[in-house]
Homo-oligomer: A and B are copies of this chain.
Amino acid sequence: MRAHRGVRDHVVMLVGGVGGAKLAVGLADLLPPEALTIIVNTGDDFEHLGLHISPDLDTVMYSLAGLANPVTGWGVADDTFRAMDMVKRCNGPGWFQLGDLDLGTNLMRTMMLRKGLTLTQVTQHLCACLGVRHPLLPMCNDMVQTWLDTDQGTLAFQEYFVRERWQPVVKQVRFVGADKAQLSPEVAAALEGATLILFGPSNPFLSIDPILAVTGIYERILTSSAVRIAVSPIVGGRAIKGPAAKLMAELGLDVSPRGIAEHYRELLDGLVLDVVDQDWCGEIEQLGIQPVALHTLMNTLSDKVRLAEATLAWAEEILP
């Protein structure tokens, strides 16, 4: 086994919401700000109550700021919902909950975007104010919207995810605007300098694919000299959280680490799967991807740091 110290020099992580945010917290605990860049899905972004809502950016930002709500997975801990109470009293849409503190964040984001700042610049500002030291980058500055063709018609992401509680059967996922979205200079620079590219334990279809759909990102990862590793969000045939398993089944993939490996295919050098799934290691290897079985459940901060450290250490070993 070869040790390659350089792997830790610049880790670039691709993440969606809760699962990815947990691993990001672990990595941020181990790596200095200049050695970790987190690229976040914004395919879930939408306009609601006149505000630009970026659910995944905020989940990761609040997680890194130590403000995240540990119970819901979204929003700010101990937030109140007074503005939303008034919105509902005025017959406004109540299906998407925004806490009062969270609303402050979204008011700021929306106002700064209207002033002409990019989403990258706005995110940088908000992170600085909340004490987040590691760079958090939206996957792009353009609006890309995840749409789902389902047995109940075409739904925008939040309609599917929040309003319909991901119950409709999905036939196809589309990222409207991705082909016209420009690669941001910040994402380009991060990928350019990456020594390790890590696909977080996020939903491949709804969290990672939108990132890969942005013009230029897939190609840059494909041709990168970095070690490229995914952490499986599927454990024991189930998703830790959310619709990943249901979607994989509906779209004809094995609900297993092999399904994950097949989905990312040529982009991966290695796959971290859970110890309960270690029997899958042989099949992963046959796909030309190196597997490792680790404890991937992250409840406490030390779980997050331990998985991050184990993943980094393993990445140092598998440099192709």
* Residues of A bordering B, CB below 8 Å: 49-51, 79-80, 82-87, 89-92, 99-105, 107-108, 110-111, 114, 125-126, 129-130
Most central of A83, A110, A129, A130 by chain B CB within 10 Å: A83
Residues of B within 8 A of A82 (CB): 79-80, 82, 99-101, 104
Residues of B within 8 A of A92 (CB): 104, 107-108, 111
* Chain B residue at minimal CB-CB distance from A114: B50
Residues of B within 8 A of A51 (CB): 50, 107
CA distance A51 to B86 in the complex (A): 15
Residues of B within 8 A of A102 (CB): 86
- Tell me if A85 and B104 are in contact (CB < 8 A): yes
- Which one of B87, B105, B110 contacts A50 once the chains associate, using CB atoms below 8 Å? B110
Residues of B within 8 A of A83 (CB): 83, 100-101, 103-104, 107
What's the minimum C-beta distance from A177 to chain B, rounded to whole angstroms? Answer: 21
- Copies assembled: 2
* Chain B residue at minimal CB-CB distance from A88: B104
* Chain B residue at minimal CB-CB distance from A76: B86
CA distance A92 to B101 in the complex (A): 13
* Chain B residue at minimal CB-CB distance from A91: B129
* Chain B residue at minimal CB-CB distance from A131: B89
In the A-B complex, the 8 residue pairs with the closest CB atoms: A86-B104, A82-B100, A83-B104, A83-B103, A90-B129, A90-B108, A100-B100, A87-B104
What's the minimum C-beta distance from A54 to chain B, rounded to whole angstroms? Answer: 14
What's the minimum C-beta distance from A66 to chain B, rounded to whole angstroms? Answer: 14
Given A91-B129, A114-B50, A80-B107 contact (CB < 8 Å) = no
- Tell me if A89 and B49 are in contact (CB < 8 A): no
Given A50-B50, A80-B82, A90-B114 contact (CB < 8 Å) = no
16 residue pairs from A and B, CB less than 8 Å apart: A49-B108, A50-B50, A50-B107, A50-B110, A50-B114, A79-B82, A82-B99, A83-B83, A86-B100, A86-B105, A87-B104, A90-B126, A90-B130, A91-B125, A91-B129, A100-B100
CA distance A125 to B46 in the complex (A): 25
